[in-house]
Amino acid sequence: MNRFLLPLGIFIVLAIFLGVGLTLKPREVPSPFIGKPAPAFRVPQLHEEGKTLSPEDMRGKVWLLNVWASWCVSCREEHPVLVDLARQNVVPLYGLNYKDARENALAWLNDGGNPYIASAHDLSGNVGIDWGVYGVPETFVVDKKGIIRYKHIGPVTPEALKDKIIPLVKELNGAN
């Protein structure tokens, strides 16, 4: 009996470790930007090339920056959620169109609806790199002072909105 105890113990410990490992998400690398000022950029807008978009313009309000692209498969999944969010009018949603041809991006928004107040057109992907974007879609919550408060990696789900993003926006709106 005793001789089975040790292998059994090792097995249980191993099973626990592997079990915990299954629940981890190595794809979700924590952003070092949380609590830091949002990187500056000023790039042309997607719809009106003549106009630019910059985080500077959003000073004084809590807003979301959603990084998206027409070639991104999971963006398609989150798109209806964002359209729904835009309809609720709880937080201004801006887009960062990442490495996308303008006509493809515009056609995509025509298809699925445009939830964004405006989208910045980051054709080169340099803004994305500045913001530490490594997989589209990603969504940032930026506060009134221009500090990044939260980063959601992967498609935004209704649960993520309800449990994390909207409460955080409300909290940040309450604070000065």
Partner 1 sequence: MLTRALFLIFLALALPQAYAGEAEPTADDVALEKRVMAVSEELRCLVCQNQTIADSHAELAIDLKNQVREKLRQGMSEREIVDYMVERYGDFVLYRPLVKSSTWLLWFGPFILLLVAAGVLVAKLRQRRKAMQEAPKLNADDHARAESLLSGTDNGAKS
Residue 165 DSSP label: I
Using the rule CB under 8 A, which residue among 9, 60, 125, 167 binds partner 1? 125
- Would you say 114 or 131 has its CB closer to partner 1? 131
User: Does residue 77 bind partner 1 (CB under 8 A)?
Assistant: no
Does residue 99 bind partner 1 (CB under 8 A)? yes
What's the rounded Cα separation, in Å, for the pair 81 and 44? Answer: 26
> If binding is defined by CB under 8 A, does position 131 make contact with partner 1?
yes
User: What is the C-alpha to C-alpha distance for residues 68 and 39, in angstroms, rounded to an integer?
Assistant: 18
Stretch of 12-20, 73-81, 105-113, 129-137 contacting partner 1, by CB under 8 A: 129-137
Does residue 32 contact residue 132 with C-beta atoms inside 8 Å?
Answer: yes
Which residue, 1 or 6, has its beta carbon nearer to partner 1? 6
Return the residue of 16, 29, 73, 175 that touches partner 1, per CB under 8 A.
Answer: 29
Q: Shortest Cβ distance from residue 29 to partner 1 (Å)?
A: 5
Residue 149 is inside which H or E element, if any? strand 148-153
Cα 34 to chain centroid, rounded: 12
Q: Which residues fall within 8 angstroms of residue 98, CB to CB, at 6 or more apart?
A: 67, 68, 69, 72, 122, 125, 127, 128, 133, 136
Q: How far is the CB of 72 from partner 1 (least distance, A)?
A: 11
> Quick one: 24 or 50, whose CB is closer to partner 1?
24
Query: Does residue 8 touch partner 1 according to CB under 8 A?
Result: no
The DSSP string of 76-140 is HHHHHHHHHHHHHTSS-EEEEEES--HHHHHHHHHHH----S-EEEESSSHHHHHTT--SS-EEE
Of 7, 19, 30, 174, the one binding partner 1 by CB under 8 A: 30
> Considering beta carbons, is residue 32 or 167 the nearer one to partner 1?
32
Residues that bind partner 1 (CB under 8 A): 26-27, 29-33, 99, 125-126, 129-132, 134-135
